Amino acid sequence: MEWRIDPEQSIDEDLRDSILDKIEEDTFCTADLQDYFTVFTQICNHTEDIQDEVEGFTRKYQIKLEGKPAAWLTIGEEKFEMGEGGIEAPDITLDMSERLAVDIFAGKVDPAAAYMSGDLKVDGILIDAIIFRDLLELVQEELE
């Protein structure tokens, strides 16, 4: 099933709580990534600190997970959109295993360490990957 999260969606508090519970209970898994991406995008669109972080920033991210459909994230005019599939002319591509994605998004693995070990492959400007990591950290703070 194809999915897409637009900037107008409010934060689904029940979904947010479910994701947080799974992360805290260490039951967060690959099957939860779509829900995580949904909550991630909603939090990014409705959190002032995150909006400030991306002011004037326009990028297209492609997220590739081995064995899963790709996902994309666009940031522009302080708005976030995310969906399934490929995106034309991404500024940066993040390529990783499903397990690594789960661990990164659950906050168990530092993306910089995964990059340094070669587990996370980055195609594009490295500073854009660092900005993505910073966004992940801000979203994790909002989840807590």
pLDDT digits (tens, 9 = 90+) for 97-141: 999 999 999 999 999 999 999 999 999 999 999 999 999 999 999
| Mean pLDDT value across residues 65-70 | 86
Q: Tokens in use for 64? A: 């590739």
pTM beyond cutoff 0.85: yes
Count: domains in the chain: 1
Question: What DSSP letter does each residue of 45-93 carry, written as one string?
Answer: HT-HHHHHHTTT--EEEEEEETTS--EEEEEETTEEEEEES--SS-SEE
Q: Tokens representing 98?
A: 């499903």
Per residue in 6-28, pLDDT (tens digit) is: 788 889 999 999 999 999 999 99
- Write out the residue range of the structural domain in which residue 124 sits: 4-143
Provide the pLDDT for residue 67: 81
What pLDDT, in 10s, does the model give residues 50-60? 988 898 999 99
CATH of the domain at 104: 3.30.1050.10
Q: How confident is the model at residue 1 (pLDDT cuts 50, 70, 90)?
A: very low
* β-bridge partners, 9: none
pLDDT band at 94 (very low <50, low <70, confident <90, very high): very high
Q: Which amino acid is at 26?
A: D
Average pLDDT over the chain reads: 91
